[in-house]
Amino acid sequence: MLRHAPVAKRTAVLLGAGSEADDVVQESFVKAYRALGSFRSGSAFRPWLLRIVANETRNLVRSRSRRSRREELSVLPEFVLDPADHALSTERRDELLEALKALPEQYRLVVTCRYLLDLDEQETATVLGWPRGTVKSRLHRALGRLRTQLPDKEVQR
């Protein structure tokens, strides 16, 4: 549990749980424990657990209307030491997060999993419960939309 808790919390926060991420993670761990009998031996545990977290987060987001932007920003790592670079990095991150929020949910979820949570295509497919081809096509479309929303900025492929 301790090994997977940080990534589970990041997943919940980045998918919209905000300040309720701890509750989502706790509920997800309880559900995962209860469902351990249905876990397929030989499968990867992390994507299976993160799918439960993603589903719990989706349930939470559906049941409330607002999110806290401050918590979303607080989970993104800060790697910049120079104050000028830090200010520019913060501005770019804010622009990217605003563009990401403007995407339809299916695109926002796939970009969050692939780039903010650093999951590979197969892990993303498992977490979101989609076929791998759907992950690839939605990611392609999402990045295209981000390119149009952020024309002067680089959008990672």
**Do residues 117 and 85 make contact, with C-beta atoms less than 8 angstroms apart?**
no
Domain boundaries, the chain: 1-75, 77-157
**Tens-level pLDDT at each residue, the chain (157 residues):** 788 999 999 999 999 888 999 999 999 999 999 999 989 888 899 999 999 999 999 888 888 654 445 455 555 555 544 566 656 677 787 888 889 889 999 999 999 999 888 899 999 999 999 999 999 999 999 999 999 988 665 555 5
CB-count exposure of residue 53 (10 Å: 0-12, 13-18, 19+)? buried
Is the fold of 1-75 the same as that of 77-157? no
CATH architecture of structural domain 77-157: Orthogonal Bundle (1.10)
Residues 6+ apart with CB under 8 A from 156: 115, 143
Note the pLDDT tens digit of each residue in 39-71.
988 889 999 999 999 999 988 888 865 444 545
Domain 1-75, CATH? 1.10.1740.10
* The pTM of the whole model exceeds 0.85: no
Cβ atoms of 70 and 30 within 8 Å: the answer is: no
